[in-house]
Chains A and B, each alone.
Chain A
Amino acid sequence: MTAFLDALSWVFLASGGLFCVIGAVGLLRMPDIYTRVHAASVLDTLGAGLILLGLLLQAGLGLVAAKLLVIGLLIFFASPTATHALAKAAWTHGLEPMATSRRSRP
Chain B
Amino acid sequence: MFLAATVALLATMALILGRAILGPTVFDRLQAANSIGTCAMLFLAVLGFLNGRPEFLDLAIIYGLLNVIGTVAVLRYFRGGSLVDPAGDRGEGQ
Q: Among B5, B12, B22, B67, point to the contact of A43 (Cβ < 8 A).
A: B12
A74 touches B57 (CB 8 A): no
Q: Among A24, A33, A74, A82, point to the contact of B25 (Cβ < 8 A).
A: A33
B22 to chain A, nearest CB (A): 8
B37 to chain A, nearest CB (A): 9
Q: Using known A-B contacts A20-B8, A82-B72, determine if residue A89 contacts B65 with beta carbons closer than 8 Å.
A: no
B21 to chain A, nearest CB (A): 11
Q: Using known A-B contacts A17-B8, A21-B8, A75-B64, determine if residue A55 contacts B72 with beta carbons closer than 8 Å.
A: no
B15 touches A36 (CB 8 A): no
A71 touches B71 (CB 8 A): no
B94 touches A92 (CB 8 A): yes
A95 touches B92 (CB 8 A): no
A17 closest partner in B (C-beta): B8
**Considering the chains assembled together, what is the distance between the CA atoms of A40 and B37 in angstroms?**
12
A71 touches B4 (CB 8 A): no
- B residues near A (Cβ < 8 Å) are 1-2, 4-5, 7-9, 11-13, 15-16, 18-19, 22, 25, 27-28, 30-32, 34-35, 38-39, 41-42, 45-46, 49, 54, 57-58, 60-61, 64-65, 67-68, 71-72, 75, 78-79, 91-94
